[in-house]
Structure 1
Amino acid sequence: MLSDFFDRLLRRGAGSGPGTGPPAGPEVPGRARPPGNLVLEADFSSTEQWVAGRTWAYPRGGPTNPGDNKLDHLTDDPAYSRSGLFRATRRSDGYWDSGLLTTEGSAEGFLLRAGDVLEARVRLPEETGAWPAIWTWLDGGQEIDVFEYHPDNPDLLELSNRVRGRHHYFRDPAVRPGAWVDLRVQFGARSVVWWVNGARVFDDRRGVGRSWRAHLIVNLSVCAGRYHPAPGPGTSEMSYEVTELRVYRA
């Protein structure tokens, strides 16, 4: 259970291959157990909890978003997202069938609130052009990027508060293609705080404001080449994995 998430991190020895995860960071007093009650335990197979293959964060709800330098062609095919393995495969028209799940428009309609704490465990992709992310969205904005990653910057996670214009490029040797990474974000009204592998790495000191609300999005995009390299001609498939995602509320 993720209630023991950081206890496990502190006990875990070195090792970062699949199934082992990266080593824990230094202990921070009061951080080992998340505050509050569990309000979301992600079941990606649930059609009540998650909608696949569309989001109003993309023009007209999708399926494409070339204006954001993406080659995505969103698909609701369960094989691309419903197991927690988010996949993208090359199409003949130049786009990539891509997996995306969101709580936006779902029967449960889950919304994050200011003060919530999100914890997730992800395996980073290896293929150039892969663009995985966990992020938030509502009514044309309210975007907080729990993380974004590009394998061409192999040791770097992008952590962003796009609500109030703050971001941080976090570099660490434990961040690399194929590595397992443990993430935690507290969506504070006055400061959004990120932890990576148990270590507190960024306090943005801007926060989201007391009235902030947003849906969750988990997806794998594909870069079109303007800001990060597009996939090479020999690449036809890519993936990343999310094995745990939970939200706690005080």
Structure 2
Amino acid sequence: MIDEALTLLGWLRRSRTRDAARPDRDACPDPGGSPGPDGTRLRPVFTADFSAPGQWVAGRSWAYPDGGPTNPGDNKLDHLVDDPGYARTGTFKATWHRDGNWRAGLLTTEGSDEGFTLRTGDILETRVRLPEEAGAWPAIWTWRDGGNEIDVFEYHPDNPDVLELSNHVNGGGHYYSHPAIRPGARVDLTVEFGAGSVVWWVNGVRAHADRTGVGPHWSAYLIVNLSVCAGEHHPPPDRSASCMTYEVDHLRVYRG
């Protein structure tokens, strides 16, 4: 529950929007705030360095059949590559190939030397620049042992003002719509992976609390990638398109 989570953390941050007239806007937890009554302080346990081979594996994931490189069953045109130019700079790229698939960037902590996993109670915060190209399908999500999936966000430019926020562990999702969500926009995201509720903040505004949570013993690896839609649920890329990108400015995880 959102109130229980905020009590546990012991922090409140003023909304980045400074819109006090909205009573439904709860400030997001501040990893740099003062300790709560129990002395608990969140500490950074993971700061993404996409160029670090010890943190991230490029171009394969067991969230794809046989680890990849393709996943047509999920209506994707991706062909994952480990070329550092497709993900290691924090700009995730996909390029058209004459075989009809798109060479695409994906990074995961699964299988890396450090093998970082998120745990129940962790808070992730990130800033992304959304793609503009039709067919682009960016996401930050979690995965482990065939599931444990929480979508920090998914986005499709054909729904230009909507972020998809989903809990595939215990159910619950939300289409968050706001004028600040648009192709090419930079968006701040904060997610608390609570046992009883996963809570998403978008640009400092509480966007969704699913009230189902991940349970007390959840853990999962991180995945950051740019997929390409094959056209069943969202339009595929324009026939003239040859490249698409989205950016992740930073990604950090905090733990109590």
Per the normalisation by structure 1, the TM-score is 0.90
The whole-number CA distance in structure 2 between the counterparts of 1:98 and 1:141 is 22
Instruction: Output the amino acid matched with 2:29.
Output: R
After TM superposition, give the deviation of residue 201 of structure 1 in Å.
1.0
CA contact (8 A) 2:197 2:210 kept: yes
Percent identity reads 65
Matched, 1:31 2:29: yes
Equivalent residue, structure 1, for 2:84:
78
For 2:63, what is the secondary structure of its paired residue? coil
2:121 to 115, 127, 130: 115
The yes-or-no answer on 1:152 pairing with 2:150 is no
Query: Are positions 1:229 and 2:227 aligned together?
Result: no
Counterpart among 188, 195, 200 of residue 194 in structure 1: 200
- The alpha-carbon distance between structure 1 residues 8 and 88, as it changes in their structure 2 partners (threshold 3 A), is farther
- CA 1:229 to 1:29, structure 2 compared with 1: closer, same or farther past 3 Å? closer
Q: Which residue of 1 aligns with 2:36?
A: none
Deviation by residue 1:25-44 (Cα, 9 ceiling, x = unmatched): 66745734465110000000
Secondary structure of the residue aligned to 1:79 is helix
Separation in 2 of the partners of 1:121 and 1:87?
A: 17
In structure 2, list runs of 5 or more residues that go unmatched.
1-11, 33-40
8 A contact 1:24–1:197 mirrored in 2: no
Distance in 2, Cα, partners of 1:161 & 1:30: 19
Match 2:148 to one of 135, 142, 145: 142
Question: Aligned with 2:66: secondary structure?
Answer: helix
Structure whose alpha-carbon radius of gyration is higher: 2
Structure 1: segments with no counterpart, 5+ residues: 1-5, 11-22
> Once superposed, what is the RMSD of the aligned Cα atoms?
1.7
Is the CA contact (8 Å cut-off) linking 2:135 and 2:235 kept in structure 1?
yes
The normalised TM-score by structure 2 is 0.87
| Conservation of the 8 A alpha-carbon contact between 1:25 and 1:197 | no
Q: CA separation in 2, counterparts of 1:76 and 1:59? A: 17
Do 1:24 and 1:199's aligned partners in 2 also have CA atoms closer than 8 Å? Answer: no
* Length, aligned pairs only: 233
